[in-house]
Amino acid sequence: MAELDDYIASPPTVATKCDIVHCGQVGLVWNEKDVETLKTKYRMVGSHISNVTEQAMSNNGCSLPWILSAEEVTLLLQIDAIQLVSGFEEEDALIEGDSEDFSWNYPTTPLETMRFRLFEDLWRRGYYLTPGIKFGGEFLVYLGDPQTHHSRFITTLLESAEQTINPVQLVALSRLGTGVTKSRLLSVYSSLTQSFEYITVNWSSLS
């Protein structure tokens, strides 16, 4: 896959850590400067809470809090870019998170571990990633900032090279991707090399 090799990027240099409020299996960002840093320096996409009030909007139009996925928080902790806090002071109000125990407990299952490995591998190759559940995959993969680029791939995780996909399932996966102008990215983890190998699948009609 030439496209994957063409967009390899080195991890950014870590500076001041951003404060993340621990809330279940997500992280909340209440500081707009931290949001900007995580977006521009670390290529985190995050998400916003819908139907926010005008008071919850920052100066740059960003709705707060900004939400980081479990994979994003885990990766940022791994590269020492953030620190978990139990709350955040905002205009004389204390925004509280999981104050009793804000140690991070993700991933906890083999499937979560494999999902995170996939997220980390694609991120280190220079991609932007968002959840892909609406399209029947783990992640949507972007060549650039999702605000200016459309997603190029939908990932399908295969936990081992021995895992099989029957022809009907393969056709369904490829047609779904083609229907939304995306390629299906089969992501195969090799326990031998402890790395991922990728295969792109597209649907092409003979008519």
Q: Which of 27, 61, 96 is the last residue of a domain?
A: 96
SS3 160: coil
pLDDT at residue 173, as a whole number: 62
Residue 120 has pLDDT above 80, yes or no: yes
Q: Residue 177: which pLDDT band, with cuts at 50, 70 and 90?
A: low
DSSP structure string for 94-119:
EEE---S--------SHHHHHHHHHH
Q: Which residues contact 59 (CB under 8 A, 6 or more apart)?
A: 32
Boundary-marking domain end, from 62, 77, 96: 96
Number of domains in the chain: 2
* 65 & 139 share domain: no
Domain co-membership, 128 together with 46: no
If asked whether residues 88 and 155 sit together in one domain, one would say no
Q: Which domain holds residue 121?
A: 107-201
Residues 81 and 129 in one domain: no
CA angle 161, 166, 169 (to 5 degrees): 110
Cα three-residue angle 47-48-53, rounded to 5 degrees:
180
Task: Place 179 in a pLDDT band, splitting at 50, 70 and 90.
Answer: low
Judge whether residue 88 has pLDDT over 90.
no
pLDDT for position 131: 95
What would the pLDDT profile of 13-29 be if each residue is shown by its tens digit? 545 899 999 888 999 99
What's the CATH number where 19 sits? Answer: 3.40.1170.20
